[in-house]
């Protein structure tokens, strides 16, 4: 999230009753969680596992629950509960817009069915078709010649929570969904908004019905996803990837350019482009086919061995 009016680390610290140290006069230009942080951002961290990643990230201000030496040129803001205070800042600078219908822009030649629900500050390009019962949440951006089929949901909240002894605290989202030109999204598909940045669907990508795309995922151009594909948050799917039915992609993984993942497969780590994968955990399809053929011979081998 970009701050319309940047503030110093000291000024932000005062808003949450905390203390800033280090280069506390440096301007903070945005708020981002760790997966999408850029220079000028404030990022929060509240677990020792991620201290080094946050402190050495592009962020110039780190909201942290421990007194540490501020990295050179950066500021830290010390808070007993960084997640709570990060959420408070998000709510302050980007409160939910509700369903007022303000600021909606629809391009020439676009057809929006009367039953569709369009949130405030949504921009829809030219020559699009928005079918019945589609819901597009606030601040989403839809390119030109996009088709969104019935009952799809664009921009629902991320599945992103902090676990506490009392239950789960919801992460306040301030990201968006951006759908580029010539994309088609199947019926009953869902694309979640980013936690603090964009979930993006690249130009020319086509999705079948019942496809789920998680928060902050970046999908390249000209991808093809069959029904029941599920992609978790913060993934990168490069250009020209094909995911066949019921493929699962766990969070923060990358699928290389031109990769094909065959039906009902699930990867456990990032995979190279230009190859075809099969199985769960998925491996290169030719290797997996050989393994399947060998497994079919196991009863015969066991019989010969007297097992």
- In degrees, rounded to 5, the angle at the alpha carbon of residue 172 between the alpha carbons of residues 169 and 175 is 145
Q: Name the catalytic one among 131, 149, 210, 215.
A: 215
Region of 42 (left: φ > 0; alpha: ψ -120 to 50; beta: rest) is beta
Tokens of 244: 């066949």
Distance CA 241, CA 7 (A): 41
Residue 142 · residue 125 · CB < 8 Å: yes
Residue 47 known to be catalytic:
no
Q: Which are the catalytic amino acids? A: 215
């Amino acid at each position: 999230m970009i701050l319309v009016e940047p503030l110093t680390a000291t000024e932000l610290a005062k808003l949450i009753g905390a203390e800033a140290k280090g280069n506390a006069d440096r301007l903070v230009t945005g708020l981002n969680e760790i997966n999408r942080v850029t220079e000028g951002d404030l990022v929060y961290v509240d677990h020792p596992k991620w201290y080094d990643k946050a402190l050495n990230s592009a962020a110039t201000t780190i909201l942290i629950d421990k007194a540490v030496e501020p990295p050179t040129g950066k500021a830290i803001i010390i808070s007993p509960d960084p997640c709570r205070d990060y959420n408070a800042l998000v709510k302050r600078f980007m409160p939910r817009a509700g369903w007022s219908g303000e600021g909606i822009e629809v391009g020439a030649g676009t057809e929006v069915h009367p039953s569709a629900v369009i949130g405030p500050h949504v921009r829809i390009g030219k020559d699009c078709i928005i079918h019945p019962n589609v819901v597009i949440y606030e601040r989403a951006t839809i390119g030109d010649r996009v088709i969104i089929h019935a009952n799809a949901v664009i921009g629902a909240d991320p599945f992103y929570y902090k676990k506490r002894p009392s239950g789960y605290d919801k992460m306040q989202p301030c990201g968006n969904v951006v759908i580029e030109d010539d994309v088609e999204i199947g019926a009953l598909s869902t694309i979640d908004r980013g936690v603090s940045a964009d979930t993006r669907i690249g130009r020319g990508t086509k999705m079948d019905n019942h496809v789920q795309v998680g928060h902050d995922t970046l999908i390249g151009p000209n991808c093809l996803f069959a029904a029941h594909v599920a992609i978790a948050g913060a993934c990168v799917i490069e250009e020209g990837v094909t995911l066949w039915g019921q493929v699962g992609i766990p969070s923060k993984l990358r699928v290389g350019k031109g990769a094909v993942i065959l039906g009902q497969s699930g990867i456990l780590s990032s995979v190279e482009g230009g190859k075809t994968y099969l199985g769960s955990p998925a491996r290169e399809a030719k290797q997996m086919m050989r393994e399947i053929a060998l497994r079919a011979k196991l009863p015969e081998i066991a019989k010969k061995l007297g097992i």
